[in-house]
Amino acid sequence: MSLTIAQNLQQATEKLKPSSDSARLDAEILLAHVLKKDRIYFLTWPEELVSQPYQAAYLELLERRAGGEPIAYITEVQAFWSLQLKVTPDTLIPRPDTEILVQEALNLLHEDMNYTIVDLGSGSGAITLAIAVERPHCHILGVDQSKQAVQVATENANQLALHNVTFQQGDWLSDVADSSLDMVVSNPPYVAENDPHMSEGDVRFEPTSALLAGPEGLAAYEKILPEAKRCLKQKAWLLLEHGYDQQNKLLELMQQHGFKETRGVRDYGGQTRVVIGRI
């Protein structure tokens, strides 16, 4: 028996309630994905019948969501900055928290300069691509250890027709020459290995290589700091995203590695989120 759009959404919302705080929204996004409509359509045509094949496809996606799979992995898209990005289970799902890192980077990048920038652990390419869109004269290299992530990021760059970015598989800055960069940005893995949050919500489905960084979550910074120091030009900037309780420790580490003018920044949710320094 076919159900209407309104009936589908109501049943789906009930089905998702036990596992999701945003059951109604999830139900709408997934139906929109199946029917290739936007959510406004449902307000206009609630009585329209959903035909069998679509209904079956919808049920399949609802099962996945009820099993905890993130919406972004089911639909393979996530909004970040002004961009719609492809994401897959090979990449972290870009977070709104990370937009502050992009904003702080842009504040330091004059619009008409041809800076060379590297984004370490570029994943789906979110940070690289957001900076590239806003600073067309800059060239940005995104480096990730995962070949699959590099492929997703490259697809995103092609989709956006951006020509001032390159994505490359690599081990942090090991392929980058000394004193060659105007800026290094990174949202590296920074979650502590035994963090209990790893068994809740979306992170259960995300690549652990993009999340976990040793017993205190600082392992990636230990690698990045000396390498960034080697590759940055005089007075050039390093910007790093970090966890909610890591800012003081990370500022200290930056100073120990010789970074100057170090300061911390909060994200739009009020959490300490980014550190900045220059060499």
- Residue nearer to ligand GLN on the CB measure, 35 or 126: 126
Report whether 166 contacts 189 (CB < 8 A). no
When binding is defined by CB under 6 A, the residue of 94, 125, 142, 189 that contacts ligand GLN is 189
When binding is defined by CB under 6 A, the residue of 74, 191, 219, 265 that contacts ligand GLN is 191
Element (H, E) at 147: helix 147-159
Q: Which of residues 153-172 bind ligand GLN (CB under 6 A)?
A: none
- Residue nearer to ligand GLN on the CB measure, 123 or 277: 123
Burial letters 217-239, b for 16+ CB under 10 A, else e: bbbbbebbbebbbebbbeebbbb
When binding is defined by CB under 6 A, the residue of 190, 221, 237, 259 that contacts ligand GLN is 190
Report whether 99 contacts 134 (CB < 8 A). no
- Residue nearer to ligand GLN on the CB measure, 188 or 277: 188
- Residue nearer to ligand GLN on the CB measure, 189 or 277: 189
Q: Does 70 bind ligand GLN (CB under 6 A)?
A: no
- Residue nearer to ligand GLN on the CB measure, 34 or 123: 123
Burial class (CB in 10 A: 0-12, 13-18, 19+), 24: middle
- Supply the minimum distance, in Å, between the C-beta of residue 6 and ligand GLN: 35
- Supply the minimum distance, in Å, between the C-beta of residue 91 and ligand GLN: 12
DSSP per residue, 66-114: HTT--HHHHH-EEEETTEEEE--TTSPPP-GGGHHHHHHHHHHS-TT--
When binding is defined by CB under 6 A, the residue of 78, 91, 187, 247 that contacts ligand GLN is 187
Three-state DSSP at 177 gives coil
- Supply the minimum distance, in Å, between the C-beta of residue 212 and ligand GLN: 8
- Residue nearer to ligand GLN on the CB measure, 129 or 203: 203
Q: Does 211 bind ligand GLN (CB under 6 A)?
A: yes
Contacts for 2 with CB less than 8 Å, ≥ 6 apart: 49, 50, 51, 52, 55
Instruction: Identify which of 40, 44, 39, 7 has the alpha carbon closest to the alpha carbon of residue 26.
Output: 39
Q: Which of residues 76-105 bind ligand GLN (CB under 6 A)?
A: 95, 97
- Residue nearer to ligand GLN on the CB measure, 41 or 205: 205
Q: Does 203 bind ligand GLN (CB under 6 A)?
A: yes
Q: Per CB under 6 A, which region of 11-19, 71-79, 105-113, 183-191 contacts ligand GLN? A: 183-191
Q: Which residue has the tokens 């909060």?
A: 266
- Supply the minimum distance, in Å, between the C-beta of residue 176 and ligand GLN: 21
Supply 263's token pair.
Answer: 């300061």
**Euclidean distance between CA atoms 218 and 250, whole angstroms:** 8
**Euclidean distance between CA atoms 190 and 275, whole angstroms:** 13
Which residues contribute to the site for ligand GLN (CB under 6 A)? 95, 97, 187-191, 203, 211
